[in-house]
Amino acid sequence: MKRIQIIIKKNLNIFFNKHINLNINYISKYMPYKIEKIDYKNKKDNQLLEIILKNWFKNPKELNLTSPSISYPFKYKKWLNLYNTNDEIHSFVMKSSNWVIGIGNLKILNDSKRCHAFHIFIDPDHRKQGLAVKIIRHLEKIGNSKGKKIMTLKAIEQNTAAISLYKKLNFMEHSLSKKTINFLKKI
């Protein structure tokens, strides 16, 4: 009798887990999202980004894949000092139900026809839904609107998901430096 109860319990758990996961996947797939411009120099945006990034980068692997020059544990002020330069930078968050689920940044290089996308990150709970593609496409449009003809990106060799994505979006490997692959694409 006890064995039958265990089998029934396992089957019920499998059934509920399967249907709950299907519902979560369905909801997140069809939930509306929006991309909003943010500014690291804006106090409110800065506070929001600090909270979000500290949460996302609790995992050293996520931090290393996104920004290998920042050591673990993540320090927001170091992030700001390293990347918040005098260059023209356009930063965006992707939101779903007013919850930030991704970020992307674009540096406009004024001395060339090039722009550089960096720190493209999707919350691990929202990956595999094409959201990184949407952020990259948005950054391409911004670069194009600024008169740029080429967009560049970088990925470390271990970030196979990013490398695969960039190739899928027709970015070409341009060079390799210090275990970092540089990509470029005409936009």
Q: By C-alpha distance, which of 96, 122, 124, 117 is closest to 169?
A: 117
Q: Do 26 and 50 share a domain, yes or no? A: no
Q: Do 93 and 120 share a domain, yes or no? A: yes
Domain that holds residue 19: 1-30
Q: Do 141 and 176 share a domain, yes or no? A: yes
pLDDT of residue 29 exceeding 60: no
Query: In this predicted model, what pLDDT tens digit does every residue of 155-181 receive, in sequence order?
Result: 999 999 999 999 999 999 988 777 899
> Do residues 173 and 181 make contact, with C-beta atoms less than 8 angstroms apart?
yes
Q: Residue 117's beta-bridge partner residues?
A: 106
**Per the omega criterion (within 30 degrees of 0), is the bond before 68 cis?**
no
Q: Look up the pTM and report it.
A: 0.79
Tokens of 137: 């496409």
Q: Do 2 and 37 share a domain, yes or no? A: no
CATH of residue 123's domain is 3.40.630.30
Query: In this predicted model, what pLDDT tens digit does every residue of 104-127 receive, in sequence order?
Result: 999 999 889 999 999 999 999 999
Q: Do 92 and 6 share a domain, yes or no? A: no
pLDDT of residue 16 exceeding 70: no
Q: Do 8 and 98 share a domain, yes or no? A: no
pLDDT of residue 27 exceeding 50: no
Q: Do 26 and 39 share a domain, yes or no? A: no
Q: Do 20 and 43 share a domain, yes or no? A: no
Q: Specify the number of domains making up the chain.
A: 2
Q: Which helix (H) or strand (E) holds 117?
A: strand 114-122
The rounded mean pLDDT for the chain is 85
